[in-house]
């Protein structure tokens, strides 16, 4: 399993991808479309055309991890719409997207909040 941490750089491919592509095909998309090195340790997030599945690609220093998740019902409701409108997401936002949620919704927990002092 890929562990998403707040320190990770996470890049999202805005355009839908053909999921017949494997690791090599998605690594090429990282280089050509996202202009990022697939060996950099970033997590890359891809969506299929039907908006029912996601793939996460990450290089850990020894090899690539490719995680695939598919919704059994419905579609992913939220996805960035342009290359300038948020192709980089925080770890907590990606976790919300993975479960089919909207990371920009107001009911999302804040990233950080001050604890009351006693």
Establish if 20 belongs to a structural domain.
yes
> Cα–Cα distances in Å, from 57 out to 41, 46, 50?
9, 8, 19
Q: How confident is the model over 6-64, as pLDDT tens digits?
A: 778 888 888 889 999 999 999 999 999 888 999 998 999 999 999 899 999 999 889 99
Establish if 109 belongs to a structural domain.
no
The answer, yes or no, to whether residue 86 has pLDDT greater than 70, is no
Query: Does 39 or 84 have the greater pLDDT score?
Result: 39
Establish if 104 belongs to a structural domain.
no
Establish if 106 belongs to a structural domain.
no
Establish if 105 belongs to a structural domain.
no
| Alpha carbon distance 56, 109 (integer Å) | 23
* C-beta separation of 48 from 80 below 8 A: no
- Number of domains comprising the chain: 1
Establish if 107 belongs to a structural domain.
no
| Alpha carbon distance 82, 53 (integer Å) | 19
Domain residues for 61? 10-98
pLDDT of residue 98: 79
Q: Is 95 helix (H, G, I), strand (E, B) or coil?
A: helix
| Alpha carbon distance 105, 20 (integer Å) | 32
Burial of residue 89 (number of CB atoms within 10 Å: 0-12, 13-18, 19+): buried
Establish if 118 belongs to a structural domain.
no
Establish if 111 belongs to a structural domain.
no
* Global confidence as pTM: 0.79
């Amino acid at each position: 399993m890929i562990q998403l941490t707040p320190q990770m750089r996470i890049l999202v491919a805005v355009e839908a991808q053909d999921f017949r592509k494997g690791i090599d095909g998605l690594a090429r998309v990282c280089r050509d479309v996202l202009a990022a090195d697939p060996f950099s340790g970033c997590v890359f997030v891809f969506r299929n055309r039907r908006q029912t599945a996601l793939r996460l690609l990450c290089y850990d220093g020894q090899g690539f991890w490719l995680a695939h998740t598919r919704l059994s019902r419905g579609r992913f409701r939220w996805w960035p719409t342009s290359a300038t409108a948020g192709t980089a997401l925080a770890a907590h936002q990606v976790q919300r997207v993975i479960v089919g949620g909207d990371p920009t919704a107001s009911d999302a927990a804040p990233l950080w909040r001050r604890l009351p002092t006693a």
